[in-house]
Amino acid sequence: MCLAVPGKLIEIISAPGASRLGRVDFDGIIKTADLSLLPDVHVGDYLVVHAGFAIAEISADEALATLALLAELAEFGEEP
Amino acid sequence: MNSRLPAGYNPVRPFRDPAAVKALLQRIESAVTRPWSIMEICGGQTHAIRRYGLDELLPDSIELIHGPGCPVCVTPAAKIDRAVELSLRPGFLLCTYGDMIRVPGSGDSLATAKARGGNLQSVYSALDALQLAREQPDREIVFFAIGFETTSPGHAQALQVAIDEEITNFSMLCSQVTVPAALTMLLGDDSHRIDGVLAAGHVCTITGSNEYHAIAERFRVPVVVTGFEPVDLLLGIADCIDQLEAGSYRVGNSYTRIAKDDGNPVARAALVRMFEPVDMEWRGIGVIPGSGLGLREEFAAYDAERKFQFESRIGSHDDQSGCISGQVLRGLATPERCPNFGQSCTPATPLGAPMVSAEGACAAYYQYARFE
């Protein structure tokens, strides 16, 4: 139920009178998501979508920091 | 200024990288000196742990206990009975998430009620149910709103749209629950054997990690916000083990790229605007005070339980099926300890919800069965 899927926001659709919607690319599969819960996102941002709603923006700084930590760990692990 | 992710960034693949998994396993193995039991709250985490075999890859001294984070599993039979009742009523259409449909109430599930002529529609989002209400104004569209804090803000938002558009044939049958109240109940039980907790990463995208400080402090357990990919799970476990070995009990966050410490304030405001804490029965566990989110009085016109009369009563139903879901959901028994597991209880013929749901521990053990 709390499955939430990361994807890239590729287009913002502002239908009149309706909620703010976006088209999100999930590694090739494109679906519409409601952006009402994330008012400050921009095209190109990575979002996490759950049950039709974008609920979180992926922080580039934090993602890159975690990837750097993993690279460091893997390198450390390879030493004899 | 936030930096940008490189073109071609894959938000999933690096977190399934075998080299990173191996390095983290080595790191955990070198840190652990004695047995520890860690509870992962979310059923999605349970499934990932079984799917990737993390429980077998980790040192034997680390036991993972499965928590109650499966909204379908904890939805009380009485609520399902009411959903069934509405689905069988002429002029009504009951909408809910696909996971909920095969879970038995005290008698019928929504699926067996449909076989008897019930009106049922599986939806991906509360917005889909709202769209059906727009398209079919002569019909009462009832959305069976189940979920934790991850899901409920979407329900609040759909309701706001219904109010704004003055859609009057739309209502919600609410069975929404919150994690901290349940965690407090589990840790307050003297028989628990939980040394550390992996908090559910997607719940924390909404709530943030701040509300876990009081729990970590009161029960002296580390609580680490943790994601769902194998690398994310091992990062959370590593933080938990480091804290346990050092004798500390802080709130950690191993899922910082997605779960911010203060969560999603817009989503939390939507929750507060529409819902208020209510006492809620958790199936197999009992009533946990203040653990539910019910519609506020001012939105009674959108609350199916206030809008309509019911024959079935809310109250504890004795479960006669032999299902031990309550023990499984509290981490007191593993699915394999149940005499019905894989025998009279399978995903095709479930006795209880944990065998049905994509987040149920029993379904995880069945789907990713191992041959000894």
Pairwise CB contact (< 8 Å): B9 & A46: yes
Q: What is the mean pLDDT of residues B213-224?
A: 97
Q: Which residues of chain A have pLDDT under 50?
A: 80
| Residue B70 near residue A1 (C-beta atoms within 8 A) | yes
Residue B253 contacts A where some CB pair is shorter than 8 Å: no
B72-B74-B79-B81 Cα dihedral, nearest 10 degrees:
70
Give the one of A8, A58, A73 whose C-beta lies nearest to B24's C-beta: A73
φ/ψ of B306, rounded to 5, equals -100, -30
pLDDT in tens, B18-56: 999 999 999 999 999 999 999 999 999 999 999 999 999
* Banded pLDDT at B6 (limits 50, 70, 90): confident
Looking at domain A5-76, its CATH class is mainly beta
| Residue B141 near residue B169 (C-beta atoms within 8 A) | yes
Q: What is the mean pLDDT of residues B181-198?
A: 94
Residue A6 contacts B where some CB pair is shorter than 8 Å: yes
Break chain B into its structural domains and give their ranges. 10-372
**Distance, CA of A23 to CA of B365 (rounded, Å):** 36
| Sequence-ordered list of residues with C-beta below 8 angstroms from that of B200, at least 6 positions apart, any chain | A2, B41, B42, B44, B45, B69, B148, B150, B179, B226
Is the alpha carbon torsion for B365, B362, B84, B129 positive or negative?
negative
* Banded pLDDT at B100 (limits 50, 70, 90): very high
Give the range among B118-127, B160-169, B213-222, B324-333 with minimum mean pLDDT. Answer: B324-333
For chain B, the residue count is: 372
Residue B146 contacts A where some CB pair is shorter than 8 Å: yes
The pLDDT of residue B315: 63
Break chain A into its structural domains and give their ranges. 5-76
From chain B, pick out residues whose CB is under 8 angstroms from the CB of A29.
Answer: none
* Banded pLDDT at B348 (limits 50, 70, 90): confident
**Distance, CA of B352 to CA of B364 (rounded, Å):** 14
**Distance, CA of A6 to CA of A69 (rounded, Å):** 21
The pLDDT of residue B44: 94
**Distance, CA of A20 to CA of A7 (rounded, Å):** 17
| Residue B74 near residue B284 (C-beta atoms within 8 A) | yes
pLDDT in tens, B299-315: 999 999 999 999 877 76
Tokens of B328: 């499984």
The yes-or-no verdict on residue B320 having pLDDT over 80 is no
Share of chain B above pLDDT 70, in %: 97
Domain covering B10-372 in this structure, CATH number: 3.40.50.11740
From chain A, pick out residues whose CB is under 8 angstroms from the CB of B14.
Answer: 67, 70
Give the range among A61-70, B39-48, B251-260, B348-357 with minimum mean pLDDT. Answer: B348-357
Share of chain B above pLDDT 90, in %: 84
Looking at per-residue pLDDT, the higher value among B125 and B337 belongs to: B125
The pLDDT of residue B316: 56
The yes-or-no verdict on residue B267 having pLDDT over 90 is yes
The yes-or-no verdict on residue B254 having pLDDT over 90 is yes
The yes-or-no verdict on residue B7 having pLDDT over 50 is yes
The pLDDT of residue A51: 96
| Residue B326 near residue B74 (C-beta atoms within 8 A) | no
- Angle, helices B230-246 vs B18-31, to 10°: value is 10
The pLDDT of residue B1: 44
Nearest to B87 by CA among B106, B110, B108, B107: B110
